[in-house]
Amino acid sequence: MYTRSADLYDAIYAFKDYAAEARRLRALIEPIWRGDGATLLDVACGTGGHIPFLRDHYLVEGLDLSPRMLEVARRRNPGLVFHQADMTSFELDRRYDAVVCLFSGIGYVGSLPKLHQAIATFARHLNPGGVVVVEPWKTPDTWIAPAISPRSPWTSRS
């Protein structure tokens, strides 16, 4: 899907505050999983933008369908494990304390049956008591047009 634009992806989304988003994610996960050694799978990780802000707190692995996006993610995050697979059907040989799918990645499943399949796949890869966090494309606080980020290059004037 992002074969041609993988190298431009980070420039297009330069307005994103990955550090703040990672802090909010940790605030959701830490009441459930706290302490050293917690494992996290970042599904639809793209170029791995959240990973530098998560790797100090979790043992992170990434998963994405696009080989080009994973190439960029590996370059940005050397030494980490990345998997190329479809989020609706991946089979990894391990389980995680948290499985996350951020920045509307879940929207690429394309249908309600595929959404159910993806969530079931995430759940199969959880340790007992683990947590799944999915960030949808739109949330109630971003649905109304004025709530669109004023920092977005698509909505601000130069």
One-character DSSP codes across 20-60: HHHHHHHHHHTTTS-STT-EEEEET-TTTSSHHHHTTTSEE
The confidence score (pLDDT) of residue 9 equals 62
Rounded-to-integer distance, Cα 100 and Cα 122, Å = 8
Rounded-to-integer distance, Cα 108 and Cα 49, Å = 18
The confidence score (pLDDT) of residue 140 equals 57
13 by Cβ neighbours in 10 Å (0-12 / 13-18 / 19+) ranks as middle
The confidence score (pLDDT) of residue 18 equals 83
Rounded-to-integer distance, Cα 30 and Cα 28, Å = 6
The confidence score (pLDDT) of residue 35 equals 62
Rounded-to-integer distance, Cα 112 and Cα 99, Å = 20
Domains (ranges, CATH) in the chain?
6-137 (3.40.50.150)
Tokens 């790797």: give the residue: 55
What are 10-17's contacts with CB under 8 Å, separation 24+?
Answer: 10/47, 10/49, 10/72, 12/153, 13/49, 13/103, 14/153, 15/149, 15/151, 15/152, 15/153, 16/49, 16/103
Query: Could you read off the pLDDT tens digit of each residue along the chain, which spans 158 residues?
Result: 545 566 666 656 666 788 898 999 999 898 887 666 799 999 999 999 999 999 989 999 999 999 999 999 999 999 999 999 999 999 999 999 999 999 878 888 888 899 999 999 999 999 998 999 998 766 555 555 544 455 544 444 44
The confidence score (pLDDT) of residue 37 equals 76
How is residue 122 written in tokens?
């995430």
Residues paired with 134 in a beta bridge: 101
pTM of the predicted model as reported, rounded to 2 decimal places: 0.81
The confidence score (pLDDT) of residue 4 equals 53
The confidence score (pLDDT) of residue 148 equals 47
